[in-house]
Amino acid sequence: MIERQPLRGIRVLDLTRVLAGPFCTMNLADMGAEVIKIEQPGRGDDSRRFAPMMPSGDSAYFYSANRGKRSVTLDLHLAEAAAIFLELVSKSDIVVENFSPGTMDRFGIGYGRLKAANPKIILCSISGFGQTGPMAGAPAYDIVAQALGGTMSITGDPGGAPMRCGVSVGDLAAALYGDIAILAALRTRDRDGIGCHLDIAMLDCQAALLEDALARYAVYGKVPGRIGTRHPSITPFQQFRASDDYFVLGAGNEAIWSRLCDAIGLPELKNDARFSTNADRTANHPAIERILADHFATRPRAHWLEALHAAEVPCAPIASVEDVAHNPHLASRNMILRAEHSSFPDLIVPGSPLKTAGSTASPSTSAPHLGADTDAVLEELLQYDPEKLSELRRRKII
């Protein structure tokens, strides 16, 4: 967590649900922004009902993307609720939404209305395919973005089925690009005094993450495919199985390759013409893989990791989620935190990787109950009195 909280004093109205939008706004909260999550009365974010559920009935999934926020209920299907939202916009800096394109306009709170209420407002729209283009209105989930964006086609074993990444990289990439765009828009607003409408598409973000796959296709004219855990241009750079378990190593330059050969007791490989350079090793990767795989299978993983660590060869065991939860290095950096939950003290949530060097600060780990802050926010920002709040609640506007 960035100790000085660069976004302190910035107010965000969060209209998002499930993962891409909530993860984006959670990072803004970690940087000090006041994030007010606007939810449907009586229903809230769909992810409030996603497993795993705690004994209290609260969703741990929801906690993982909504810490540090306030919750206000507003039924935006109603014109009076939309008017209240626009009042809040006049006192805010950022709106983040991940509805299907056109939904904000149907609610009467499209960018034009937001800008009229507050010319400096920044609207960040996160969607599957963007606000423009022939697919703009199509529905999308993380797996759709991973599939159409090429990620799944290059993930998996050679000759095997395409595989979805084990984390929701389609959602998370869009969230993080949304954060980058918002920070840039705040800088522009500080300089020029105007807001803007940001258009973040999950598919765009997947294409942006293809790193060298597009370059290899352009240069070689061959469609990249699934190659397991190995790297297409660096060898060896993959997982191996010791006699008892898996581990990974990477030899990204000739000096590391030389140390690797000595460390594992195969110095003769350094003089093998097939493996003289990284380009040679990559061209002959089936041969080097067989040699190393057979050799590593003769000893336990701990033996190889000790030897490789001593030789300063990048390597690691393949950690389980349980291993990560108990990793002392991550604990020392406040990355494994006990969540603030009144009835389930064993809930673990990730900390924030956004840190100031030397800081020991931790982010808020509590997530709001549905509508918990409705009265407080409307009283603080709009000076609504208890009588008006009671009337709005009676009419199911809040």
Q: Which amino acid is at 113?
A: R
Catalytic residues: 231
Round the average pLDDT of the chain to a whole number and report it: 95
CATH superfamily of 237-241+246-317: formyl-coa transferase, domain 3 (3.30.1540.10)
Q: Cα(88)–Cα(381) distance, rounded to whole angstroms?
A: 7
Domain 11-209+332-394 has CATH 3.40.50.10540: yes
User: What percentage of residues in the chain have a pLDDT greater than 70?
Assistant: 99
In angstroms and rounded to an integer, the radius of gyration of the C-alpha atoms of the chain is 25
Interval 305-336: pLDDT, tens: 999 999 999 999 999 999 999 999 999 999 99
Q: Which pLDDT belongs to residue 394?
A: 95
Q: Cα(398)–Cα(394) distance, rounded to whole angstroms?
A: 8
The two beta strands, 237-241 and 246-250, are antiparallel
Which burial class, exposed, middle or buried, applies to 280 when counting CB atoms under 10 A from its CB (0-12, 13-18, 19+)? Answer: middle
Banded pLDDT at 363 (limits 50, 70, 90): confident
Interval 18-77: pLDDT, tens: 999 999 999 999 999 999 999 999 999 999 999 999 998 999 999 999 999 999 999 999
Asked if 195 and 182 touch (Cβ cutoff 8 Å), the reply is no
- Strand order of the sheet with strand 69-73? 69-73, 34-39, 11-14, 94-97, 122-127, 196-201
3-state secondary structure of 307: helix
Question: Phi and psi of 7, rounded to 5°?
Answer: -100, 15
Q: Cα(14)–Cα(199) distance, rounded to whole angstroms?
A: 16
Boundaries of every domain in the chain: 11-209+332-394, 237-241+246-317
